[in-house]
Structure 1
Amino acid sequence: MANDPKKIRFAPNGAIYVAPASESLTVPADLGTANTAPSGYKALGYVDEGGVTLTPAIETQPVNAWQSATPILYIITSASFSVKATLQETNEITTELFWGAEWVEIMSNDTPPAGTGVFRLDLSSTPDLKEISLVVDWNQNSIRNRVVIPRAMISDRGAIQLSRTENGKFELTMEALDSAGKLGYVLTNDDIIKAA
């Protein structure tokens, strides 16, 4: 096969969408419409210029035999798929994902109680890990790609740097969970695949 610069791909545009993982959620089975959240999902907004890191991983263990100095095969000990991104927008969704809790409005002592416009987010000493469903879209011109992870959890959070000269950012790593024997799937309309 000859070298082909038309097959070099970038991801200049994209979006991350999340939804609570549930039995009633219909995960997308197609590429959908560009710049539109799949039904039931919400956009996480701007991601820093480093983009999104997708990491499929398989850990293996060698099986050795008396008759060979090299392994005779490998067995899979674990499989994972992670999505890492640093979110730049400060909004209800990104802050609840980052802090791992929900905002609740503080009510007044009036009768009946009224909202005060002040919200509180309690950081539990025994936090509840919530399942989410995740969709990552990216495109280069008309070539579109989508990763769908039906079930995921946030496995790591970076530190927030409060600065006079740089905006607040929410660094999250989200790990896929098993969903009927799959971690997720990738969709594309890229012409690198030969149609049947």
Structure 2
Amino acid sequence: MNSALVRVPGTGEVSLAPADTPEPADPIAPLAAPWVGLGLSTPDGTTLARKVEKEGTEHWQQLTPARYIYKSQELTVASVFQETKGEVLSAYFGGMKFAAVGTSTPKVYRAEISSIPKGDVRALCVDWIDTVSDTEVYHHRLYLPRAEVSETEDAQWGRSQEARWGMKFSALAPPKGKTYIAVWLTDDPAVLFGAPAVTTGALDVITEDQPRGK
């Protein structure tokens, strides 16, 4: 048990770029073009979900499986965005883009929602930061080279709440030559196995190789 290893994602953001945009060099430097942040989201932040479907083999001689056969794997990133801007609307509506029309003042912008849904594959980054103290600031960045919006939430427009755009992004299979669907970058040493114990006040935190008192 080590309370110093508890992490709180105090702030963060989801960003998009064209599919297969190269992996960022580190988790700290702000993302540069072509990455575009999707901006403010609801206090629930971002939900990361991983689902692996597998099925055990069945046998005449025994009830327990001898091995498992993997059927599918799904990695998703979901968030509810609060900024009604081009990048958010484009992702929500499958690549839709606005363009100025006419010469009126103020300018008028028009976009078409296609009658035939099309693929809109993007690269995605989820950034979050835990500021423990002035000297302890930990950065985490999850990079998906290929992802697509697999589900959208209903967008309700009313006077009692800002417009919200809920989306779930699903990781896609990697291109030829790569074997991963996501990469996690961080400067947080807590992710290493055997992270050192710390002393909090007069209470020594117990690690697995230390005896426990009665």
Aligned residue number for residue 130 of structure 1: 120
| SS of match in other structure, 2:107 | strand
| SS of match in other structure, 2:53 | strand
2:183 aligns with one of 185, 188, 193: 185
Aligned-partner Cα distance in 2 for 1:74–1:176? 23
Aligned residue number for residue 89 of structure 2: 95
Aligned residue number for residue 72 of structure 1: 66
- 8 Å Cα contact 2:12/2:127 also seen in 1: yes
Aligned residue number for residue 145 of structure 2: 150
Give TM-score scaled by structure 2 length.
0.80
Aligned-partner Cα distance in 2 for 1:190–1:57? 25
Measured after TM superposition, the shift of residue 115 of structure 1 is 9.1
Q: Within the alignment, does 1:40 sit opposite 2:34 as a pair?
A: yes
Structure 2: state its 5+ residue gaps.
132-136, 195-214
Aligned residue number for residue 28 of structure 1: 24
Offset from partner CA, 1:35-74 (integer Å, 9 cap, x none): x224420111011101000112211011112221111111
Compared with structure 1, are the counterparts of its residues 38 and 147 closer, same or farther at alpha carbon in structure 2 (3 Å cutoff)? farther
| SS of match in other structure, 1:6 | helix
Structure 1: state its 5+ residue gaps.
109-113
Measured after TM superposition, the shift of residue 119 of structure 1 is 1.5
Please tell me the residue identity of whatever aligns with 1:8: V
Please tell me the residue identity of whatever aligns with 2:129: N
- 8 Å Cα contact 2:24/2:31 also seen in 1: no
Please tell me the residue identity of whatever aligns with 2:10: P
Please tell me the residue identity of whatever aligns with 1:16: V
| SS of match in other structure, 2:22 | coil
| SS of match in other structure, 2:156 | coil
Compared with structure 1, are the counterparts of its residues 105 and 14 closer, same or farther at alpha carbon in structure 2 (3 Å cutoff)? same
Give TM-score scaled by structure 1 length.
0.87
Aligned-partner Cα distance in 2 for 1:82–1:139? 20
Give aligned-pair identity as a percent.
26
